[in-house]
């Protein structure tokens, strides 16, 4: 995980702490939990990209029209690019 994850965790804690709810005041979440939780969310987003990309691939293979195949290939490629950017932005190791 990278610094962006740490920033988002700090922001979340600060936002919850700002509610002034006695149950959440001075909330402390261990770094190991916060980083793992964020990693799981990022991986889930990457999995969603994989699933949508696979759907595009399946429909592209079944398509008969060349133009439809190209459109579906562009959708598949876009999903793969979004997955790569998420991985790179958050520094997820595979």
Give per-residue pLDDT as tens, 54-93.
999 999 999 999 999 999 999 999 999 999 999 999 888 7
Q: How many domains does the chain have?
A: 1
| Model confidence band, residue 1 (pLDDT cutoffs 50, 70, 90) | low
Q: What is the pLDDT of residues 28-40, one digit of tens each?
A: 677 778 788 888 8
CA-CA-CA-CA torsion sign (54, 57, 61, 67) = positive
Band the pLDDT of 15: cuts 50, 70, 90. confident
Domain carrying residue 80: 3-90
**DSSP codes of every residue in 7-51:** HHHHHHHHHHHTT--TTTTT----HHHHHHHHHHHHHHHHHHHHH
Gap between the Cα atoms of 57 and 52, Å rounded: 9
Residue 14 or 70, more confident: 70
């Amino acid at each position: 995980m990278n610094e962006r994850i740490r920033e988002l965790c700090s922001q979340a804690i600060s936002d919850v702490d700002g509610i002034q709810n006695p149950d959440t005041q001075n909330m402390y979440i261990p770094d190991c939990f916060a980083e793992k939780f964020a990693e799981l969310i990022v991986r889930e987003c990457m999995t969603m990209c994989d699933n949508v990309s696979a759907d595009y691939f399946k429909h592209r293979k079944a398509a008969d029209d060349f133009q439809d195949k190209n459109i579906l290939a562009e959708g598949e490629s876009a999903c793969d690019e979004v997955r790569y950017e998420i991985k790179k932005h958050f520094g997820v190791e595979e």
